[in-house]
Structure 1
Amino acid sequence: MLPGCTSWPAEVARGYREKGIWRGQTMGAMLAELAGRHRDRTALVHHDRRISYAELDAWADRLAAGFAAHGVARGERVVVQLPNTPEFIAIVFGLSRIGAIPVFSLVAHRATELTHLVRLSGATGYMVPETYRRFDHLALARQVQAETDTLRTLFVFGDRADGFVALSDVEAAGTAAREAGTAAGEALSPDADPSDVAFFLLSGGTTALPKMIPRTHDDYVYQSELAAQVCQMSAEDVYLAVLPVEFNFAFGCPGVIGTLQTGGMAVLADTPNPLDCFPLVERHGVTMTAMVPSVVALWLEAAEWNDADLSSLRLVQVGGARMTREFTARIGPGLGCSLQQVFGMAEGLLCFSHPDDPADAVLTTQGRPISPADEMLVVGPDGDPLPSGEIGELVARGPYTLRGYYRVPEYNARAFTPDGFFRTGDLARLTPAGDLVIEGRIKEMIIRGGDKISAGEVEDHLLAHPGVTAAAVTAVPDDLLGERICAHLIVDGPAPALAELKRAMHARGVADYKLPDTVRFVTEFPLTPLGKIDKLALAAAAASERKA
């Protein structure tokens, strides 16, 4: 294991291998096996490009040899910052085949995040698009290189530029190396170990710069394959990557990787906008996709007036934020498909509702862990498991849940229990049937005069008020109470007065201390790159208005 990473205990890892959970296959070897099985089938689609399994495999080989020819060595880290293109997928597989480690970066990241990632990872390479949505990524890369010490090579997907190695030149070097039979032409590092880190995902929190999540070949091959099985995917499925592929959700839950493992076809969308995606669904017969609630809301609105044929859709996964039952009940009928609620994290644990679950469970819970080897508990402040129905912190461990973030030992000491459970920071409860219900984040718990209030609970009551179409609740500092409750609302029609909202919540049996102290009306919520409501930005805006 790479220094700075935390391995699974030896006896635990041995048990996973003996049970066949980890089958000892690298990502690169997996692609080669899939190419042999599905050679001429289409693997990836982007615009008018169609790439077969055999072509993707050969492309990854060329890139592997080309990166090696340009000095990328086993164990070195390469930050990859690309939009939803086949190049992203091919580069990840190519780097995997020489034992180099991609660090997935959002295209929206800028100098602050990128310098942090390069310094933390010690990256020697950085891959960028030339420009994307009119932003100059070449200038960004030069700035990051100037402000860090380890970046040796800048790569660009686009035209050649001073100081950059073009991706086309990487491919050309790989072709030459393989034809010459040099060491750089070896497709797979001879000492590649499936227990090694395959790539780094990034933590999705909004409270600090992202932490790096080491995902091994063993754990990710297992996760994506099992997720595809739970979703009942087959070679006839067509998956639409609506979200950025550098997110775990779109990459391997089951995402693009799980789709490939079943012999299906993955279509890469440029944006999640329904005006862009609906024609792709119709053109390619998309059967499955994954979205966050804010994107689903856009799709539902567009589906009411757009005449695109969405009849091929059989399953839509939705996760990433809490949803009311009223909202989830609209998704299936609105899009003409089945809903699968998902709770997941880049750190590991995935919970899915299942196709054969009772309808009410699909609408109101996030289902169960996808693996029988997953261990999931809801615990109280003392760390002891709570009975079903009681709200506590969700902790988890298992064959694809990390045992430690990269190079942050002090944080790891707080984030993991002594016996290896990851403290997710999520407030949750279990139903009598064993299904998971996420109630919010611990850090979203408002402590008002000593009383603890769940922001999510207050939001649900506010959403029941006529005319309130979206609600977000945050804390604002208060000299007397410590924190006060601020409701940020989007309404359709006249804005209700605070007193009116309080009376309506009282009528629903809500305790006085849970009633909002202030209310703000906005036309839209700021969003994080994943499409979640950015509550830090909302709280900052409320605090600023209060000072003014």
Structure 2
Amino acid sequence: MSQTPPDWQSLCPFWPAATAQGYRAAGIWQAETFFDVLDGLVAAHGDRLAVIDGARRLGYAELRNRALALAHGLRVLGLRRGDRVIVQLPNCAEFVELCFALFRLGVVPVLALPAHRDLEIGQFAAFSEAKACFIPATVEGFDMVAMARRVQKATASMRHVIVLGEGFEALYQPDGPADWEGPVAEDVACFQISGGTTGIPKLIPRRHMEYIYNVRCAAKVSGFTQATRYLCALPMSHNFPMACPGFLGALMSGGCVVIAPNPSPDTCFALIAEHGVTVTALVPPLAVLWLETAREPLSLELLQVGGAKINPATARRIGPELGCRLQQVLGMAEGLICYTRLDDPEQRIIHTQGRPMSEYDEVRVVRSDGVEAAPGETGELQTRGPYTIRGYFNRPDVDADAFTADGFYRSGDIVSRDSDGYLTVEGRDKDQINCGGEKIGVDEVEDLLLYHPSVVDAAVVARPDDRMGERACAIVIPRDPRPSALSLRRHLRDAGLAGFKIPDEVIFVDAFPQTGVGKVNKRQLREMLQRQHFGGDVPA
């Protein structure tokens, strides 16, 4: 079976020709794919330990051989270069093997989270025209197979539902031919999912040549070496634990990846002690939980914290109480990553989110009046560079707003920048809630609430939270008979909304404050709620 691979250049905006040529000439982009990189790692490291997952141990050569065998099996199923598939696996060695198998085939994974449910997975599958999905049988008691079958029934393109542990091993075919055409460096390697995606998804196309540069640069800034033992505690499909530098960075440095099934302190502390873990990555709420649980310093050398801004008071505790250095990370799946440097003074590490990792990153901070901000002034973070995308997958409607005419990505992050280029996050310009590093697009939740027969109008806003940073709060104008908060949350769950998006609180009001043009004034609404329901002042 043969098919013409997709024209990625038309589906996903590419860099201008002169810019791309400059990146190639500088050696930033190289003519290699992730599987080419794995071949090189095998040549350099052979049987050196690459992955630890429970009792399983994979050397570099075995990882490569198993990934190639899995690629053979997936090809027998009919998957070809340019096809899209949904990957929704938990943290496990099979996730690593599957990624490299897909990289070899040129099949593009849409990297979903285990927490996503019918609504999100259905949207991802339909929009990407996914031909298969890879899932575990259950996640925390939820029947993933039943969900996948529902999505398959509604998605004309989806031919296969592949369940981890149910004949999955039979897909590995070590004796198949390997003479098929694979991807090229400019092909899309994977789709990350934009935080706060609502309705039609915003899929982030990460191409082999730029994502490889992303990983290598991140690993260098983070000090990864062959001695690195990286604990993958966060969901592996996230950009942060995957490529910033993540498990890919550990492997590309010749190090070892230790896989944690969950990020709980009990689980991770035991793995850190057993395997001599040197570095891991957390979001701020988990860092707080680890601090509250630790009874003595860990053997960690470095803790990376990102996904949301960490409170300086919490940041200051990490060194003394966990016994390791802190590295703050400000990144986005669309590209730009900023790090505090390992040799930065403590005050800079505590109070800033770092500076861009590459000398080729272009960053500007733009005030609301369109003027570039002076040092210390706040404005929107805008960026372009060799690993920041120039547009989403097949979304020219979104690209028009998300990117400037000269190719800068408008992040929506409000930041200030000091004279040395270090950034401090001050807030968000976009209507999103950052709950423990997970971005929630409020439009999606509001729209679903409006489908409830007892809801006249609804608004979803963030309320400050010491542990999670922000939590979602739904403010509802009800009609009689007034619904209960429980019934509204059940309504959202039944609609297939991921659990982390369901508001923790529901507050009923008679009317919303409005702007001069009749829109809900979210700022006044937050201030009103802070005074009347939560107490105190709302942060600016």
TM-score by length of 2: 0.81
The 1:278/1:416 distance shift into structure 2, 3 A limit, reads same
Aligned to 1:109: 116
Provide, for residues 366-421 of structure 1, a one-character-per-residue CA deviation record: whole Å limited to 9, x for no partner: 11111100011100234331111111100001111111111111111010001110
Q: Provide the residue aligned with 1:395 in structure 2.
A: 382
Secondary structure at the aligned position of 1:186 is classed as coil
Q: Which of 65, 68, 71 does residue 64 from structure 1 map onto?
A: 71
The residue that corresponds to 2:178 in the other structure is 186
1:444 touches 1:474 (CA, 8 Å); kept in 2? no
Residue pair 1:197, 1:216 contacting (<8 A) in 2 also: yes
Provide the residue aligned with 1:151 in structure 2: 158
Partner of 2:264: 273
Q: Does structure 1 conserve the Cα–Cα contact (< 8 Å) formed by 2:218 and 2:244? A: yes
Determine the C-alpha separation between the residues in 1 that align with 2:533 and 2:199.
27
* Structure 2 counterpart of 1:499: none
Which amino acid counterpart does residue 27 of structure 1 have in structure 2? F
Tell me which residue corresponds to 1:362.
349
Who is 1:430 aligned against?
417
Q: Structure 2 CA distance, aligned partners of 1:514 and 1:394?
A: 29
Deviation at 1:310, TM superposition (A): 1.5
- The structure 2 residue matched to 1:215, chosen from 197, 203, 206, is 206
Q: CA RMSD in A?
A: 2.6
Alignment partner of 1:237 is 2:205: no
Which residue pairs with 1:440 in the alignment? 427
Quote how far apart the aligned CAs of 1:148 are. Answer: 1.1
Q: Percent identity between the aligned chains?
A: 42
- SS where residue 161 of structure 2 aligns? strand
User: CA contact under 8 A between 1:485 and 1:517: conserved in structure 2?
Assistant: no
1:400 alignment partner AA? Y
Q: Which amino acid aligns with 2:75?
A: A
Match in the other structure for 2:190:
199
Shift of 1:129: 1.4
Select the residue among 130, 136, 146 that pairs with 1:123.
130
Counterpart in the other structure of 2:169:
168
Please give the residue correspondences for 1:122-521 in structure 2 after superposition, counting only pairs within 5 Å.
122-159=129-166, 166-171=167-172, 174-176=173-175, 178=176, 185-186=177-178, 189-190=180-181, 192-205=183-196, 210-303=201-294, 305=295, 310-311=298-299, 313-443=300-430, 472=470, 478-479=512-513, 482-483=521-522, 516-520=530-534
Report Cα offsets for 1:430-474 as digits up to 9, x if no partner.
01221011111113699xxxxxxxx99x96xxx9xxxx7787488
- Is contact 2:189–2:206 with CA below 8 Å preserved after alignment? yes
Rounded to whole Å, the distance in 2 between the matches of 1:19 and 1:79 is 35
> In the alignment, which residue of structure 1 is the partner of 2:36?
29
CA contact (8 A) 1:474 1:486 kept: no
SS of residue in 2 equivalent to 1:114:
helix
2:66 touches 2:174 (CA, 8 Å); kept in 1? no
Q: Which residue of 2 aligns with 1:6?
A: 13
Q: Distance in 1 between matches of 2:114 and 2:195?
A: 14
Say whether the 8 Å CA contact 1:79–1:105 is kept in structure 2.
yes
- Confirm whether residue 50 of structure 1 aligns to residue 57 of structure 2: yes
User: 2-side partners of 1:62 and 1:480: how far apart?
Assistant: 60
Please state whether the residue corresponding to 1:362 is helix, strand or coil.
helix
Q: 1:54 aligns to what SS in structure 2?
A: helix
Q: Secondary structure at the match of 2:430?
A: helix
Distance 2:267 2:472 in 1: 33
Post-superposition offset of 1:519? 3.5
Q: Which residue is equivalent to 2:493? A: none
1:113, 1:209 within 8 Å by CA — same for their partners in 2? no
Q: Shift of the alpha carbon at 1:518?
A: 2.8
The gaps in structure 1 that reach 5 residues or longer are: 160-165, 179-184, 447-454, 488-512, 522-534, 536-548
The alignment partner of 1:519 has SS state of helix
Task: Give a deviation string over 1:321-342, Cα, whole Å, max 9, x none.
Answer: 1222212111121210000000
The 3-state SS of whatever aligns with 2:257 is strand
Contact 1:348 1:402 in 2 (8 A): yes
Question: Do the aligned residues in 1 keep the contact of 2:65 with 2:174 (CA within 8 Å)?
Answer: no
